[in-house]
Chain A
Amino acid sequence: MAKMGMVFDLKACIGCNACVVACKQENSLPDGVFFTRTLSHEHGTYPNVKRVYIPTICNQCEDAPCEKVCPSGATYTRADGIVMVDKDKCIGCSSCAVACPYDMRTMLDKELFTKGLFGTGELTPFEQQGYGRYSPGTAVKCDFCSERVDAGLQPACVATCPTNARIFGDIDDPNSAPSVLIRERNGRQPLPEKNTRPKVWYVD
């Protein structure tokens, strides 16, 4: 069975956030909620200074702390390795949000679904057609656009990325694009000391 993973090419990423907005579109995310982010870090001293743009996302850990602590069984791992949350089982206890060492879980405030993206107290038709997938009070996170993956598509963030800084595929297949990159450009995982075995990798 395939094991889906993602590689972030830090050399390619221009921090444009097209991925972040594509994700908001695809997944009808409420205001201020993100399944993926692009961070910006400066280092060095003027004039020898560098800035790196760092995409972040749920790392779909093989030893997922969020899954371990989930008391209701809402968090589970699909056969292809994607870590899912079943909103109907989630009891909103926030254990997962606390357990995730990557700060990648968001608890959905009720208020988000009433104030709307424009903060007017009215929902746009876009929000009305999209918010039904969420249960206020439960935990959410990226699931690699699992429905798109099931349909043979790339996750929305990957498809739109202008610089191909997000490379998605089966990391159990040594010939897949992400596997080749991990191997050839010395991929590394986020916070390896947490022993979560992320399926997300970074290459410089």
Chain B
Amino acid sequence: MSKPQANQNSLKPGKWIRSTCKMCLHSCSTRVHVTDDGVINKIEGDPTNPSNAGKLCPKGNAGIMRHYDPQRFKQPLRRTNPEKGPGIDPKWEPISWEEAFAITAREIKKSLDRDPRLILPSLEDFQKMHIWFWPLAIGNHNFYQSGGTMCGGAYHPLNGYIHSAFGAVNDAKYCNYWISNGAGDGFSSHLHAAAQSHWVAKARIERGMKVVTVEPRMSIAAAKAEEWIPIRPASDRHFAMSLSHVLVYEGLCDYAFLRKDTNAPYLVGPDQLFVRDADGQIYVWDTADNRAKPWNDPTLKNENLALEGEYEVNGVKCRPAFQVYKDTLKEAAPEIIEKITTVPAATVRRIAREFAREARIGDTITLADGRTVPFRPAAYNYYRGAQGRKTGMMTNQAFQLVNMLIGNIDHPGGRCGVTITDGSIDNNHCLPGECGQMLGTPHQLGHMPPFSWPPNEYHLAGFFPVGVNGPHLNMLSYLEPEKYGSTYKPDVLVNCHSNPVWAIQGPRDKWLQFLREMRFIVCVDVIPTEMTDFADIILPASDYLETWNGVMIEPPYTEGICFRQPITPPIHDTKSEEEIFFELSERLGVLDQYNEVINMILGFEQKPHLKLEPGKKYSDRDIAERVGLLWNDKPIEWYMEHGHSSTERRLDKWYRPWEGMRLLFYIEDLVVQRETLRKQFEEAKVPFRDEWPFDDYQPLPTTVLDPIHLEPAEYNLYAITFKDIQMNFGESLSNPWIKDITYRDPVHTGLLLNRGTAQKLGFTDGDIVLVESPYGKLYGRLTTTEAMHHETLGVSNSLSRTKSENRSVLMAGGHYNDLLPYDMRNTDGATGQPETSCRVKLTKLDDWPDFLKHGQTVYDLVDSIRNAKGKGGTH
């Protein structure tokens, strides 16, 4: 097909190699063209993967510009300028790999020998969990990367309770009514963006699936929706509970499902625990015999289990879990809640009724595997924008309860659990728990370290038994070591593909000081970032077009390993992450421990012949080969030819993988965890035990207000941040193709303010403003629009970069994350999730402050684009 004269890149003489994208953390399959001269000149989607079906998002299409970025680190580097700061030239000096490894190992070891906790890891390769968990090999649970709470800090633990899975998705293959609340799935972000937007578009176009979007900013999802419902930030839980109020009080629930497949009938006592018999079996109320029986009494019939009512069992007053929530929902009538959400009560009632009607409660569908299961083609989707709350755990649960009430959990068309990886093809992710319930598995990213006082972990992870790591909490130990019991301060930072100083919320000047005080920082990375400005040693990593890997990472609808192989050998003197971390492990004397960590994390233990052996170092190719073998016993040569083993998800692992177990409508474990933790705090006499937010652990959500609503009234607006598909997950704003599209899109080129609000407050389009929150500030230029909630300022992530050595990155006027709190008042006690919205006030300025006047900001680029000719803008 190729001809020597071809102008178009995909037709030039060369070859196609199947591989996997890594421009975000997900793993769409690719085919990559490399010319006979060895130049990578086209990346396309691989049509043989039933997930992305040949499609790629803009980031996936832009991988070549990362590969050939002239600012890539081309060899190991040592800093010669002792002064560290944003944009200050480190005066790198090239050194050999041997010297770089020797210095790095020596400096890490100095601290390691004193106290392993002095190491602060920030390892963020989501496609390589075996790199992420390297710190376990040195006995360290510290954590500084942003991949915890800035993503789905409460989302993942709650999914672990509801689906025993890491992620969850609305089943676009059948769904007909899709509520999207603060989420981008299927439109602009999150799960395999190209794949999911493909399947959601098919549902919209071919089946006429209705989309209702609830969010403060009209996102892409809202633009495509039949209905955009603007909502006040940080009130999404209240919205969901008001929907649930209508479902419950108008009798619109799937009662058969709740009785048979959930613990909603289990009786709850006044201590929030289930009422149990002497053998520990939980009681339910049998309406046929009008008395309580243990859940497993053989005379019980599901249809006779009471969901409502008040009872007394063995002298204890109790109610079915369903009734407990029903009572709570009294406070959530739409007419009450509309004052919190600004969503009219009539709208809520209409949406709830539509949702229930489209759920087709009672309908079933017969699957290809012969099972007949409930058919529930309506689902509530939510993500970071809605769940990034101080009340994260109960907020997530409020959303999932909307799904659970209509009986759509893990049913066709409903809300389905998505595993991060199954490891081996026959692994089912659901395990039986106590008293007929499914085992809740909140630790989807590994168990949190045990409670300790004084705390072993600088970010206080031991205080969050069911949470995820909250990197912003490092700031508490740093600023108030006496209060938080810090007995040490980390002095060595090991950073890999992570940019916490960009991504974590809290005071920038303090974070910069925190970094400056580190005795030694090593960065493993591909290009300069805000973090590498602080590195003492750079260990340059090969990129995803030069290395091997095998990964299954929460693909909706499919399962299997997406395989990465080198398209070219490394074009610079770089190494894979595996080469780097095995080498460091050997030099630090922890190679055997690291191999054991990998055997556990990647599941090689399941097939003993795949286990890494003590004393041996492995390559990225070795690891990729084993991941493939673990999945389906196929050799690496098979993967090199096929590029992936992705297939439609096996039906028994997709729909009702928990068959025979009851789902957790009521999460009693959160009560148990809370009381255990409270006791630990008491026994250790933790000095701040009276102010610790134990109340964030609730077995069912409440209508408590998030503290953001209680900030001083002078902060008269809310502010939110957002990304679209071209910035989905990791860094891409240094990529010229991504810049070329991003800074032509009006939502990414100014601070978005509702036009009517602007008029009322005396602002106009183009005003330069100072934005202040109770915690920080930024500068920006207003873009007025009709497509923002009337109390809310929208700040694109495209305006978030700060000054750094990366000359391709344009700074704007500060960083949205600087506006956010980092304290426990604004952090979910149950998960560690911090609030991700804030309250702000605006002040109009006559001109930019001096540091933004040098002609190199986003706004300068936007102006130059606006003034250019030949824009193709007429249609």
Real binding pair: yes
B736→A163 contact, CB < 8 A: no
A27's partner among B8, B745, B787, B874 (CB-CB below 8 A) is B8
Number of A-B pairs, beta carbon distance below 8 Å = 220
* CA of A42 to CA of B217, assembled, Å: 13
* CA of A14 to CA of B188, assembled, Å: 8
Chain A residues 120-142 with CB under 8 Å of chain B are: 120, 122, 124-126, 128-130, 133
A11→B204 contact, CB < 8 A: yes
Question: A161: CB under 8 A from chain B?
Answer: yes
Question: A106-124: contact bitstring with B at CB < 8 Å (1 yes, 0 no)?
Answer: 1100000000011110101
A126→B39 contact, CB < 8 A: yes
* CA of A20 to CA of B223, assembled, Å: 20
Question: B62: CB under 8 A from chain A?
Answer: yes
Question: B43: CB under 8 A from chain A?
Answer: yes
Question: B7: CB under 8 A from chain A?
Answer: yes
Question: B680: CB under 8 A from chain A?
Answer: no
- Contact residues in A for B725 (Cβ distance below 8 Å): 14, 16-18
B874→A102 contact, CB < 8 A: yes
* CA of A53 to CA of B265, assembled, Å: 48
The interface stretch among A43-51, A75-83, A168-176 is: A43-51
The interface stretch among B52-60, B447-455, B474-482, B770-778 is: B52-60
B871→A162 contact, CB < 8 A: no
- Contact residues in A for B229 (Cβ distance below 8 Å): 47
Question: A72: CB under 8 A from chain B?
Answer: no
Given contacts A42-B786, A129-B37, contact A161 B55 (CB under 8 A): yes
A46→B754 contact, CB < 8 A: yes
Question: A40: CB under 8 A from chain B?
Answer: yes
B205→A9 contact, CB < 8 A: yes
A105 CB to closest chain B CB (Å) equals 7
Question: A164: CB under 8 A from chain B?
Answer: yes
* CA of A126 to CA of B745, assembled, Å: 26
B868→A32 contact, CB < 8 A: yes
Question: B852-875: contact bitstring with A at CB < 8 Å (1 yes, 0 no)?
Answer: 000000000000010010111111
A46→B197 contact, CB < 8 A: no
Q: Which of A46, A101, A106, A122 is packed against the most chain B CB atoms within 10 Å? A: A46
B749 CB to closest chain A CB (Å) equals 11
Question: A22: CB under 8 A from chain B?
Answer: yes
B872→A34 contact, CB < 8 A: yes
A163→B808 contact, CB < 8 A: no
B860 CB to closest chain A CB (Å) equals 13
Question: B737: CB under 8 A from chain A?
Answer: yes
Question: B230: CB under 8 A from chain A?
Answer: yes
B861 CB to closest chain A CB (Å) equals 10
Query: Size of chain B's interface in residues, with CB distance under 8 A?
Result: 81
Given contacts A27-B9, A103-B871, contact A21 B741 (CB under 8 A): yes
A51→B218 contact, CB < 8 A: yes
Query: Size of chain A's interface in residues, with CB distance under 8 A?
Result: 71
B875's partner among A102, A107, A163 (CB-CB below 8 A) is A102
Given contacts A12-B205, A40-B745, contact A103 B872 (CB under 8 A): yes
- Contact residues in A for B756 (Cβ distance below 8 Å): 46
Given contacts A14-B187, A129-B35, contact A39 B875 (CB under 8 A): yes
Chain B residues 785-814 with CB under 8 Å of chain A are: 785-788, 790, 808
Residues of A within 8 A of B (CB): 9, 11-12, 14-18, 20-22, 24-28, 31-32, 34, 36-40, 42, 44-47, 49-54, 56, 97, 101-107, 117-120, 122, 124-126, 128-130, 133, 145, 147-148, 151, 153, 156, 159-165, 190-191
Residues of B within 8 A of A (CB): 1, 6-12, 35, 37, 39-45, 52, 54-58, 60-62, 64-65, 68-71, 187-188, 193-195, 197-198, 200-202, 204-205, 218, 220, 222-224, 228-230, 724-726, 736-738, 740-741, 744-747, 754-756, 785-788, 790, 808, 865, 868, 870-875
A46-B790, A147-B8 given; 10 more Cβ-contact pairs under 8 Å: A14-B187, A25-B41, A27-B8, A32-B868, A42-B786, A49-B218, A53-B223, A54-B875, A120-B70, A160-B55
26 A-B Cβ contacts within 8 A? Answer: A14-B201, A14-B725, A15-B223, A22-B56, A22-B61, A24-B740, A25-B9, A40-B745, A42-B785, A42-B786, A47-B228, A51-B218, A56-B873, A118-B71, A118-B736, A148-B11, A151-B1, A159-B45, A159-B54, A162-B55, A163-B197, A163-B198, A164-B198, A164-B202, A164-B205, A191-B875
